[in-house]
Amino acid sequence: MSQAKSGDTVKIHYTGTLEDGTQFDSSQGRDPLEFQLGSGQVIPGFDKAVEGMAVGESKRVAIPPEEAYGEHQDQMVQDVPKSALPPEIEPEVGMALSARGQDGAEMRLTVTGVNDDTITVDGNHPLAGKELNFDIELVNIA
């Protein structure tokens, strides 16, 4: 039976949970996730977990932050004057915003605090600094 290797296109079903059991993503009720192993389409730890699996095989893996979305970086959390926002935006905690960085690249920000004159935004990925647990089933290798 063949095993998934770098360069293969694979289809997998998965459920992702945090250490406390909270589910953050799943392919349940959807088509399997399709990606090319080793291409950088998924987090590095996920690539490593699927490599070597055979069709029909299932496994549970724990992926540390450094092989997922990285450690939480305090410098990515900033206070911004409300006046910097377009007037039609009423910020709320949990709201997603986008901004352009100094290099011109678009950044996704999450509002984590709202005060009278400022808002606090976090540019870290929402799963940064977290160990991610995945139940994975390899459905197909192409």
pLDDT tens track for 59-77? 999 999 999 999 999 999 9
pLDDT single digits (tens) 100-121: 878 888 889 999 999 999 999 9
Query: Per the domain annotation, does 118 fall within a domain?
Result: yes
Whole-prediction pTM? 0.83
- 53 and 28 in a common domain: yes
Number of structural domains found in the chain:
2
Percent residues over pLDDT 70 in the chain:
99
Q: Are 16 and 23 in contact (CB under 8 A)?
A: yes
Query: Per the domain annotation, does 4 fall within a domain?
Result: no
- Give the domain extent around 13: 9-70+127-141
The structure tokens listed for 59 are: 């496994």
